[in-house]
Amino acid sequence: MNLTARVVVNRLAQQCAYKRIVTFSTKPAEHAVPAQDEPKNVEVPPAAPTQTPAVPPTTPRKPIIPANYRFVYPEFLPDPKVEWRNSIREKLERLDMLERRKQIDLPEFYVGSVLAVTSSDPHAAGKTSRFVGICINRDRCGLRARFVLRNVIDHQGMEVVYELYDPTIQKVEVLRLEKRLDDSLFYLRDALPEYSTFDENMEAEPLEEGAPVPVNDIKVVLRPRPWLERWERQNLRGVANIDQYLKDKHRLSSARVQKPWEKYDMMKHYRSTIAEEEQTEIFAEVHTELHTLELQRKRNKRKRTFLKPKHLA
Amino acid sequence: MALRLMRTFTLGPATLNAVGRQQHQQQLIHTTPACCEIRKLARLRVVDNSDLGKRAMAEGRPPRCIHVYNKRGVGLIGDKVLVAIKGQMKKGILVGLKQNQRPKQPKFDSNNLVLIDDNGSPLGTRIHVPIPTVLRTILKEKTLAKGADYTKVLAIASRYV
């Protein structure tokens, strides 16, 4: 028994060594591979695979990565779907993203923040177009990261999808930095228009430096059915009056499709997220540059901000 | 007579069961959401101030698309459509769509239409919702390709997005 265990450990160590040589340039993958293997061979003592790769990277990497990076820069984390992973591509994309971030200030924002995006538009009269709206969704990873802005202009609701790293985008301003109670606000399409109406000439509302991002716990009022989606099935927290429009059949059917056990499904959670070790790997790669960019932004902001006195004495 | 009564009585629970099964089946029927594409018989919203369009919208009888003038049969932005509006056939240009658009192009909450006549000049004098800027390029190209002048629609727009 002892001997077989030792043989297994040896073989594992060999595999690790082999993998380390093959994927020499891509350090995140090295960590990712044992992390993915872990659930498969549970009975193997985990000391051997974790020890070997853990020792070399910890010594040179000193920078302490802020815990909020995974919320501020979610697009730096790759898609957790295993079939779509490609460590080299991810690394190259990260380099490209940093290059783009050196050219343009892409600020921190969340679903529920109000943004103004200025992009060059060959069809527009002035060759640029500016759209103000509330961010109702953020999706996709890496260079393909996108967000959706929604606004109601002249009583006409409209949405525009922007790619965050689109080279034609000239400027992204955050007019109001805040979060909402839900992860995506598609239900604003079925809400009363005043909840998605934002003034185009809105001024940026400054937030104190270092203050936590406020959560706006506004409850949206939906208009009566028909709706675009079955909102009653999605356990929305930011909707005030959904019960008013539900009949018993809707309640029954939504209770039937609920999956209350999913929050205990550790494998599902594991497959749908990037492990913490891997996140630290990724952010350790980009941390220094992101940090310098942040410092630069702060310096520029201090230079630029000249508060115009509103009332003259 | 009595026998027939008995039969109906015995049939009672069975028929009830059948009704129950039907209800169950009704619950299982899969219903798809409304198709957002502009095809034949899609309802549209007139967004100009033409008399005909305003009356049709006020009556709650929006125009229906009865033909799309392209080869695909699905109307995209800037396409010309034939609509049935208040018992008449009129042509119109699609100036805003519900369906998903490319990045940076607006997607609207309603399918918007501007009524035109055969020469391409609009029936109204004003469009009271924003229209996408791509429409400038698309309509200019169509004007060059076809005989009619569609750029007059651009002239009555109040706002671009």
Q: What is the pLDDT of residues A60-77, one digit of tens each?
A: 555 688 888 999 999 999
Q: Do A160 and B137 touch (CB under 8 A)?
A: no
Q: What is the pLDDT of residues A125-143, one digit of tens each?
A: 899 999 999 999 999 999 9
> Beta-carbon neighbour count of residue B100 at 10 Å?
10
Q: Do A166 and B103 touch (CB under 8 A)?
A: yes
Quick check: A204 and A261 in contact, CB under 8 A?
no
Quick check: A135 and A110 in contact, CB under 8 A?
yes
**What three-state secondary structure class fits A303?**
helix
**Burial class of residue A80, CB neighbours in 10 A (0-12, 13-18, 19+):** middle
Residues on chain A bordering chain B, Cβ-to-Cβ distance under 8 angstroms: 119, 121-125, 129, 131, 146, 153-163, 166, 168, 189, 226, 228, 249, 253
Mutation choice for A interface testing from B27, B95, B104, B158 by most A CBs within 10 A: B104
ipTM of the complex as predicted: 0.77
Q: Do A163 and B103 touch (CB under 8 A)?
A: yes
Q: How far is CA B2 from CA B7, B11, B12, in A?
A: 9, 14, 15
**Does an H or E element contain A20, and which?**
helix A2-22
- Can you tell me the distance from the alpha carbon of B96 to that of B98, in angstroms, rounded to the nearest whole number? 7
Q: Do B104 and A253 touch (CB under 8 A)?
A: no
Domain B45-155 classification at class level: mainly beta
Q: What is the pLDDT of residues A73-93, one digit of tens each?
A: 999 999 999 999 999 999 999
Q: Do B103 and A124 touch (CB under 8 A)?
A: no
Give A-chain residues touching B161 at CB under 8 angstroms: 129, 131, 153, 158, 160
**What three-state secondary structure class fits A181?**
coil
Out of B101, B107, B129, name the one closest to residue A154 (CB).
Answer: B129
Q: What is the pLDDT of residues A13-27, one digit of tens each?
A: 444 443 333 333 333
Q: How far is CA B87 from the centre of its chain?
A: 16
Domain A108-269 classification at class level: mainly beta
Angle made by CA atoms B56, B60, B61, in degrees to the nearest 5: 55
Q: Percentage helix, strand, coil, to 5, in chain A?
A: 45, 15, 40
Residue of A nearest to B106 (CA): A160
**Does an H or E element contain A136, and which?**
strand A128-139
Strands B64-68 and B45-46: unpaired
Q: Do A155 and B129 touch (CB under 8 A)?
A: yes
Instruction: Give me the residue label for tokens 């929305």.
Output: A236
pTM, two decimal places: 0.77
Out of A123, A154, A226, name the one closest to residue B136 (CB).
Answer: A123
Lowest mean pLDDT among A9-13, A163-167, A173-177: A9-13
Q: What is the pLDDT of residues A195-252, one digit of tens each?
A: 999 999 999 998 888 889 999 999 999 999 889 999 999 999 999 999 999 999 999 9
Out of B100, B102, B159, name the one closest to residue A154 (CB).
Answer: B159
- Can you tell me the distance from the alpha carbon of B41 to that of A196, in angstroms, rounded to the nearest whole number? 30
Quick check: A134 and A195 in contact, CB under 8 A?
no
Task: Return the domain boundaries, chain A.
Answer: 1-60, 108-269
